[in-house]
Amino acid sequence: MPLLNDLTAAVAAGKRTDTVRLTQELLAAGTGPGTIVEQGLVPGMAIVGEQFKKNEIFVPEMLVAARAMKEALKLLEPLLAAAGIMPKYTVVVGTVQGDLHDIGKNLISMMWRGAGFAVVDLGTNVPPEKYFSAAQEHKAHLVGLSALLTTTMPAMKETVKILKAAGLPNTKIMVGGAPITQAFADDIGADGYAADAGTAVDVAKKLVGEAA
Amino acid sequence: MTSREKVRRALNHQSGPVPVDIGSTGLTSMHVSCVAALRQHYGLPNHPVKVVEPYQMLGEVEDDLARVLGSDCVGMKARGTMFGFKNEDWREWRAPWGQVMLVPKGFGPREDPSGDVYVFPEGDTSVPPSGHMPAGGYFFDAIIRQEPIDEDKLNPADNCEEFKPVDAAEIAHWKAELTRLQGEERAIVGGVGGTGFGDIALVPAAFLKHPKGIRDVSEWYVSLVERRDYVHQIFDFQCEVALKNLETYANTFGDLIDVIVICGTDFGTQSSQFCSPATFADLYAPYYKRVNDWIHAHTKWKTFKHSCGAIRPFMNQFIECGFDILNPVQCSAKDMEAPRLKADFGDRVTFWGGGVDTQRVLPFGTPEEVRAQVTERLRTFSVNGGFVFNTIHNIQARTPVANIVAMVDAIRDFNAGK
Ligand code: B12
């Protein structure tokens, strides 16, 4: 549908007003909110993730696109809830204890949101217990931990250990952040790692069992 | 050869012994816990270390320690801090990790039973705190105090509150600093503030009691795209004020200082950048160029630019804007390998950093690994000068003392031809 394609392009370009207008037009034309998300917004954010991965766009452009998406979701979420359409997967995300870098964590959250996941963002400086109780409460399929400092890598290790010991059989753990590598992720027993926000979506989908 | 001569030779791209900077700026120093540990290791007088920069909790590298570490640079101490209180009225404070240190009176702080520590702008506890050290953390982060934004009422002047003409008290402070440093045989590194454009650490304005305008980190990045004119207007105003102030500083400092820190804005992430080269050319380059041109036309100072991360795509632009020195040279980021950087840009810019990887080798490696990497970096970067040894950014808490000592020994041995 041309309007859906326009919406995809508007989100990808971060055009907030156009995104909202097109969402309203689609709704007025009778398009279901689920379709608008799946076929309008999600592909838009996928383009953003791809461009970011290739260094064609940068943090500011990503944030602008995320805003456009958020505005559209504000219109759509009540309708989705009313129609009983719930995101299939829930992710809990946060920056580990002692660390306050949050730009990367925010990008990851918005990309996951943009891929149709429900995202519970616990913010920065998150102690292990908080990840655990949020994962339990929201029946999270995935917990995402971010750490940007070598001084907080031990807190990431500790958090993974506690989450694993707590026994949440259906919850996978993903880690990332500037100093984090696949080797470190393996070493601390995390289930997944991604070096950037675009890849994070692919890996998350694989972990929850949805083909990427 | 004096320390200053060593530094000058390096800055003029002449070969010679590699000069070292440990502790001259808030970007090239170390955490207060490391300072105390090193003092103990070297058997220096055991007294509480001063926190000279409370945001990052950097400790003072006093002359006795600087000598042992072989540092060839000394900094002019700042009068104010990131939180707006002054570096004065020192008193003892026990940090959550048990270390007793000296902090300025304005530091407070407020300590919660949870272990969180809060500091206040200008030390004023009647307004909300502007700095937060989480329990288990080693330094502060700015608390975002963004008022709701009304697009129609956004006024660039609100983001310019911090850019002011220097006052007499400030000048008196710098004069006193110059007197303190009289007869100094190390290179003197100054930094006067106000010349950093869009530094994300400064955007939240932890030093202001009631910051106005755009003070949220994400909102700032969004503004680079959506409100580019607004940002240009801030930078324009800031640049005008900075150029006037530089005139005053040039008259005050003359040729007594060697290097001036201009800007700490980070343009790189671990594997990418915060903007495109086109954005850099439009939004930043014109202001950097004006500041650098003015300094080069009126002083002998070398200008110092700090940017973390993968900044190879900006290297030519930094150089074309007139920066003489680049720090911290994060070789662990994408496309930042030391040999390629040196080969491609080494004759046009001085690398002030890059000496050892602070993301892996220094905190987690063995002393032998540290020694090997330091020696290799010294070999790579020292060819034809253009290199001042410094770790990549400040040495972080929890870094093993044995590794820092291995680094210092490796530099000494290299310079001794061993
Ligand atoms: C911006 C920045 C800051 C800002 C932070 C603003 C904020 N609100 O976050 C400011 C200026 C305040 C800051 C401060 C400090 N910083 Co800083 N900072 C950076 C910088 C330049 C970029 C980080 C960033 O935001 N990148 C952009 C985002 C998009 O990228 P990202 O975070 O890497 O995230 C991506 C991936 O890693 C991944 N990812 C991230 N999280 C997750 C999570 C999951 C689950 C997954 C799957 C993926 C994933 O996807 C993201 C998107 O692609 C880095 C440099 C670098 N090399 O990364 C230094 C850096 C991280 N900082 C560093 C330091 C040392 C500090 C300080 C401690 C300074 C000091 N005291 O010496 C302070 C204190 C910070 C604090 N209080 O916590 C060092 C850390 C070194 C070390 N040993 O660990 C770095 C590496 C710089 C350097 N040259 O050494 N910093």
Closest-CA residue, ligand 1 atom 78, reads A100
Nearest protein Cα to ligand 1, atom 37: A177
Predicted confidence band at A169 (pLDDT cuts at 50, 70, 90)?
confident
Residue A100 contacts B, CB cutoff 8 Å: yes
A55 reaches B (C-beta below 8 A) = yes
Q: Which DSSP string corresponds to B129-185? A: --EEE-TT-SS-EEPP-PPPP-GGG--GGGGGTT-----HHHHHHHHHHHHHTTT--
Measured between alpha carbons, how far is B139 from B56 in angstroms, rounded to an integer?
5
Domains of chain A: 2-82 (1.10.1240.10), 90-208 (3.40.50.280)
**Residue partners of B330: CB distance under 8 A and separation at least 6:** B268, B308, B309, B310, B311, B336, B353, B354, B392, B393
Query: pLDDT digits over B7-29, tens only?
Result: 999 999 999 999 999 999 999 99
For residue B136, the model assigns a pLDDT of: 85
Determine contact, residues B136/A98, Cβ cutoff 8 Å.
yes
Average pLDDT over residues B91-112: 97
* Predicted TM-score (pTM) of this structure: 0.95
Cα of A87 vs centre of ligand 1, distance in Å, is 30
* Contact between residue A169 and residue A133 where contact means Cβ atoms under 8 Å apart: no
Report how far residue B191's alpha carbon sits from residue B26's, in angstroms, rounded to the nearest whole number: 10
Q: How confident is the model at residue A212 (pLDDT cuts 50, 70, 90)?
A: low
Residue B206, pLDDT above cutoff 70: yes
Task: Quick: pLDDT tens for A49-91.
Answer: 999 999 999 999 999 999 999 999 999 999 999 999 889 999 9
- Does B276 lie at the interface with A, CB-CB under 8 angstroms? yes
Q: In this complex, which of A97, A149, A195 lies closest to B271 when CB atoms are compared?
A: A195
Q: For residue A54, how far is the Cα from the chain centroid?
A: 19
| Neighboring chain A residues of B225 at a CB cutoff of 8 Å | 14, 60-61, 64
Distances, alpha carbon A78 to alpha carbons A23, A34, A66, A84, B34, in Å: 14, 11, 19, 10, 53
Closest by CA position to B79, among listed B11, B223, B175: B175
Smallest Cα distance from B137 to chain A, Å: 4
Per-residue pLDDT tens digits for B336-354: 999 999 999 999 999 999 9
Q: Tell me if chain A has a CB within 8 Å of the CB of B335.
A: no
**How many angstroms does the Cα of residue A101 sit away from the middle of ligand 1?**
5
With CB atoms and an 8 Å threshold, state whether B136 touches A97: yes
Residue A1 scores a pLDDT above 80: no
∠ CA B103-B106-B110, rounded to 5°: 85
Task: Please tell me the predicted confidence (pLDDT) of residue A210.
Answer: 82
Q: Model confidence over A101-155: pLDDT tens digits?
A: 999 999 999 999 999 999 999 999 999 999 999 999 999 999 999 999 999 999 9
B218, B274, B332, B394, best to mutate vs chain A, most A CBs in 10 Å: B218
Q: Of A64, A100, A179, which is closest to B141 when you measure between CB atoms?
A: A100
Cα-to-centroid distance, A148 and ligand 1 (Å): 5
User: At CA A93, angle to CA B31 and CA B129, rounded to 5?
Assistant: 50
Instruction: Search chain A and give the residue with CA nearest B114.
Output: A127
What percent of chain B is modeled with pLDDT above 90? 98
Q: Report how far ligand 1's centroid is from the alpha carbon of B334 (Å).
A: 14
* Structure tokens that stand for B138 in this block: 């080693």
Give strand pairing partners of B94. Answer: B100
Cα–Cα distance, B108 to B127 (Å, whole number): 13
> Measured between CB atoms, does B265 come within 8 Å of chain A?
no
Contact indicator for B260, B303 with CB cutoff of 8 Å:
yes
Q: Which chain A residues are closer than 8 Å to B397 by Cβ? A: 151
Q: Please choose from B82, B215, B269 the residue to mutate so as to test ligand 1's pocket, defined by most ligand atoms within 8 A of CB.
A: B269
Distance CA A139, CA A150 (A): 30
Q: Note whether B221 contacts A52, CB cutoff 8 Å.
A: no
Would you call A52 an interface residue with chain B, using a CB distance cutoff of 8 Å?
yes
Q: Do A100 and B137 touch (CB under 8 A)?
A: yes
Q: How far is the CA of B180 from the centre of ligand 1 (A)?
A: 36
Question: Residue B155: pLDDT band by 50, 70, 90 thresholds?
Answer: very high
Q: Which residues of A touch B273 (CB under 8 A)?
A: 55, 58
How high is the pLDDT of residue A198? 87
| Three-state SS sequence of A163-177 | HHHHCCCCCEEEEEC
Smallest CA–CA distance, residue B145 to chain A, in Å, is 15
* DSSP annotation of B114: T
pLDDT, residue B42, reads 98
